[in-house]
Amino acid sequence: MPYKAISTIGEFGLIDKIAELAEPTLQSVPELLQGIGDDCAVYKPSGKLLQVSTTDLLAEQVHFDLLTTPLKHLGSKAISVNVSDICAMNALPRYALISIAVPASFSVEMIEELYKGMSHAAKEYGLAIAGGDTSASRSGVIISVAMIGEVAGELLTERGGAKPGDLICVTGSLGGAAAGLKLLMREKNIMLEHFENNEPYNKSVMADLKEYSEAIQCQLLPLARLDIVRFLHSRNIRPTSMIDISDGLASELHHICRRSNTGALIHESRIPITPSTRRIADELQDDAITWALTGGEEYQLLFTIPKAKHEVISDNREISVIGEITDPDEGIFISDIYGMQIDLTSIRGFDHFSG
């Protein structure tokens, strides 16, 4: 089937199509008085709530590789990474503005796939796609999402409020996204090798990725922990500090300690890692704990609560207590399974501009 070039429907035709795909996201946001179609989106804020806003940019070859990333997943991920930042403030996402730049080789069908993913994710999170901007690109796909959320002032959670004695909590499990990325890179290299040698790359040489689906899903289709934010609200808990894990547990814990002026001690044995992630680490002769500490794109939440609140969250199996906040002069340490304490400040996450 030949694909339709964007030039055949033009920018206005494309925006009409985008508006159609975004339409189902409007249902859950009655406060959005004007969505796609006018010069600006119009939103009626509720007087009592604080507004939080964030933006995240995804650039082809820096953040994603179209060889290993289905466009629908990419659209969903572009929404999820912003929702994750909103969640990290203990806030609820309300609407998003989406700017895209695409090369001339991009087809109408590809835009449709991208927006299907965005629209599906937006509906799941209860936020509206309210507008954006569209441009041509001379160097790959760029997707920039801006998102606005809301939270009651007494629930707003920043990075800087952790106190010595607070419990350090993490949601879900860690290391899966790094495992997924390693597997996809391995498969991509096998594929490129076959192409270079003029050998067919088909089902008979492809790894059966089904057995790795949990890790690959973590990488390609991460979910922001809005469920945890809703849980915290339902129990009337405002964590003393919170951050989302986009650059590895070590560096996020470091951010909390720096902003809160504290130290921290976490325990290796309590870091939640699934058996499937451990199995993949063994297979690739790598280390699952290192993935959990330094692997990016996890989108779990890291937060602290006073010890007295422990009982209120202890029935939620998606939350693990991994350690305790300490005095600033005690530093930031991880105790390994033998009880040896290792300085965590020497272990850093992903940095776009290092090396």
Site membership for ligand ADP, residue 191 (CB under 6 A) = no
Candidate segments 126-134, 208-216, 256-264, 294-302, binder of ligand ADP by CB under 6 A:
126-134
**C-alpha–C-alpha distance, residues 151 and 90, integer Å:** 7
Question: Which element (helix H / strand E) includes 55?
Answer: strand 49-59
Residue 150, classed as helix, strand or coil, is: strand
15 Cβ contact partners less than 8 Å away, ≥ 6 residues apart: 36, 134
Residue 128, classed as helix, strand or coil, is: strand
Token look-up 């809005």 returns 226
- In the complex with ligand ADP, the residue whose CB is nearer, 42 or 185, is 42
Which one of 134, 137, 217, 316 is in contact with ligand ADP (CB under 6 A)? 134
- In the complex with ligand ADP, the residue whose CB is nearer, 105 or 346, is 105
Site membership for ligand ADP, residue 131 (CB under 6 A) = yes
Judged by beta carbon distances under 5 to 8 A according to partner kind, the member of Mg ion, ligand ADP, none in contact with residue 154 is none
**C-alpha–C-alpha distance, residues 116 and 111, integer Å:** 8
Judged by beta carbon distances under 5 to 8 A according to partner kind, the member of Mg ion, ligand ADP, none in contact with residue 311 is none
Order of strands, edge to edge, in the sheet holding 332-335? 241-245, 300-305, 167-171, 319-326, 263-267, 332-335, 341-343
> What's the closest the beta carbon of residue 266 comes to ligand ADP, in angstroms?
41
> What's the closest the beta carbon of residue 224 comes to ligand ADP, in angstroms?
20
**Which x/- pattern over 251-280 shows residues binding ligand ADP (rule: CB under 6 A)?**
------------------------------
Judged by beta carbon distances under 5 to 8 A according to partner kind, the member of ligand ADP, Mg ion, none in contact with residue 132 is ligand ADP
Residues 73-102 that bind ligand ADP (CB under 6 A): 98, 100
Binding site for Mg ion (CB under 5 A): 133
Cβ(90)–Cβ(223) below 8 Å: no
- In the complex with Mg ion, the residue whose CB is nearer, 133 or 193, is 133
Q: Comparing C-alpha atoms, which of 163, 157, 156, 158 is closest to residue 261?
A: 163
Q: Is the dihedral of CA 106, 76, 61, 207 positive or negative?
A: negative
> What's the closest the beta carbon of residue 144 comes to ligand ADP, in angstroms?
10
**Which x/- pattern over 15-44 shows residues binding ligand ADP (rule: CB under 6 A)?**
x--x-----------------xxxx-----
Site membership for ligand ADP, residue 133 (CB under 6 A) = yes
DSSP bridge partners of 96: 129, 147
**Whole-Å CA distances, 164 to 88, 138, 306, 327, 347:** 21, 51, 9, 6, 22
Candidate segments 125-133, 154-162, 205-213, 308-316, binder of ligand ADP by CB under 6 A:
125-133
- In the complex with ligand ADP, the residue whose CB is nearer, 16 or 286, is 16
> What's the closest the beta carbon of residue 135 comes to ligand ADP, in angstroms?
9
- In the complex with ligand ADP, the residue whose CB is nearer, 77 or 159, is 77
Cβ(228)–Cβ(320) below 8 Å: no
Categorise residue 354: left if φ over 0, alpha if ψ from -120 to 50, beta otherwise: beta
> What's the closest the beta carbon of residue 76 comes to ligand ADP, in angstroms?
15
**C-alpha–C-alpha distance, residues 148 and 83, integer Å:** 9
Judged by beta carbon distances under 5 to 8 A according to partner kind, the member of Mg ion, ligand ADP, none in contact with residue 21 is none
> What's the closest the beta carbon of residue 35 comes to ligand ADP, in angstroms?
7
- In the complex with Mg ion, the residue whose CB is nearer, 100 or 128, is 100
Residue 290's CB is within 10 A of a number of other CB atoms, namely 15
Candidate segments 130-138, 161-169, 171-179, 271-279, binder of ligand ADP by CB under 6 A:
130-138
Judged by beta carbon distances under 5 to 8 A according to partner kind, the member of ligand ADP, Mg ion, none in contact with residue 196 is none
Pairing between β-strand 128-136 and β-strand 92-102 as defined by DSSP bridges: parallel
Cβ(78)–Cβ(142) below 8 Å: no
60 Cβ contact partners less than 8 Å away, ≥ 6 residues apart: 66, 140, 141, 142
Q: Which amino acid is at 139?
A: S
Q: Which residues bind to ligand ADP, rule: CB under 6 A?
A: 15, 18, 36-39, 98, 100, 131-134
